[in-house]
Each structure stands twice: as structure tokens, then as C-alpha cells.
Amino acid sequence: RRRGASFQVIAEIISLGDVRLNKKVSEVMNKYIGCLADLLSRGVKSGEIREDVNLEAAATVLFGIIQGLVNIWALNNYGFDPQEKYESLWHIFREAIAKRQN
């Protein structure tokens, strides 16, 4: 089972004070957020997401939701199904960005 990078790892990297390592991790995270923004852009094009949504901000919020859930999952010794918990979080996020049907 894939567990992803936990914020604890990111916090440890930051605490090391290695500017090059911080830059590399930042680049990876920004690339990931960019991929999320691209996915959200597809939702705008398909008419599922409102056109007025700031995609960079929405992607960053989605990243925070995912990362937060990964942290909680790790701190609970991976003792629950993150997909089950993610469903309700996704519903809240989707309601915030979804195009309203008339």
C-alpha cells in the first residue's frame, strides 16, 4: 500500500536548513500542486467547476486536504481507510468549486 510523504518528513527536511534540499522539495510540491491545478482546469473546461475559481488556490487547498489526511492517517498508524475519510472531505471541497446547475 502506498503511503505518500507525510508532513513530518517535510518538516524534518525544513529543520535541516539545507537550502538546496528545501528548494528541491519545494519544486516537487509545486509540481504536484501544478498537476492538481491542471486536473481542476479540466473540470472547468468540462463545465463541472465554476470558471471564477482560482485554480492555483483551489489546487493548494486540495493539496492541504490530501496532506492533512495523510498526516492523520500516519499518526493513527495507518489504522483506517483514507479513501473512506477522504470522501466527505472531497464532498465539501467539490461543493465549494462546483458549477451550480440552474
Asked, for residue 72, whether it belongs to a domain, the answer is yes
Q: Smallest Cα–Cα separation from 62: which of 79, 43, 45?
A: 43
* pLDDT given at position 18: 80
Asked, for residue 26, whether it belongs to a domain, the answer is yes
Q: How do residues 60-92 score in pLDDT, each as one tens digit?
A: 999 999 988 988 888 888 899 999 988 999 999
Q: Look at phi and psi of residue 78 and say left if phi exceeds 0, alpha if psi is from -120 to 50, else beta.
A: left
Summary mean pLDDT of the chain: 88
Q: Do the Cβ atoms of 71 and 80 come closer than 8 Å?
A: no
Q: Which residues of 82-95 are buried (b: 16+ CB within 10 A; e: fewer)?
A: beeebeeeeeebee
* pLDDT given at position 102: 66
d(CA 92, CA 90): 5
Asked, for residue 102, whether it belongs to a domain, the answer is no
Split into its structural domains, the chain has a count of 1
Asked, for residue 58, whether it belongs to a domain, the answer is yes
Find the CATH number of the domain harbouring 17. 1.10.357.10
Q: How do residues 13-42 score in pLDDT, each as one tens digit?
A: 777 878 888 888 889 889 999 999 999 999
